[in-house]
Amino acid sequence: MSYNIDYLKDARKDLRNFNNAEREQIFAAIEKFALNPLPKNEGGHGNPLGNKYGLNLTGLCKITLKKLGIRIVYKLIRTETALQILVIAARADEEVYKIAAKRNK
C-alpha cells in the first residue's frame, strides 16, 4: 500500500531550486519512500530524526539523496496514511532542519 503524498506549499516552492533532472530523481525517491515510509526501527525506509542541532524534530523522517546533496524531510501522518513533505533542500548544513522545525509547527 502506498501512502498519499502531500507537499506543503513551501516544499513545492523548494522544488524550483532544482533543475528538471534533479526534480525527477527527487520525485522518484519520494515515490519509493511512499511505499513504506515508516521509520527504519519499524521496518520502513525512513531515517527518523530526533533532536538535531538543538531542534526537536521528533516524529519527522528524512530521505537523503547523497549524490545530489539533497535532503528531504517528511512527516508521516498515520491516521490518514499520508506522507507530508515539509522541506527539500541541500544537505550542506543544518539549515534544512531549522526549516523543517519551523514548517512543522
Instruction: Give the number of domains in the chain.
Output: 1
User: Which parts of the chain register pLDDT below 50?
Assistant: none
pLDDT in tens, 73-87: 999 887 778 888 889
Per the structure, the complete domain to which residue 28 belongs is given by: 4-103
Alpha carbon of 40 to those of 1, 11, 59, 88, 91: distances in Å? 17, 23, 13, 20, 20
Radius of gyration over alpha carbons of the chain, in Å? Answer: 13
Q: What is the pLDDT of residue 81?
A: 81
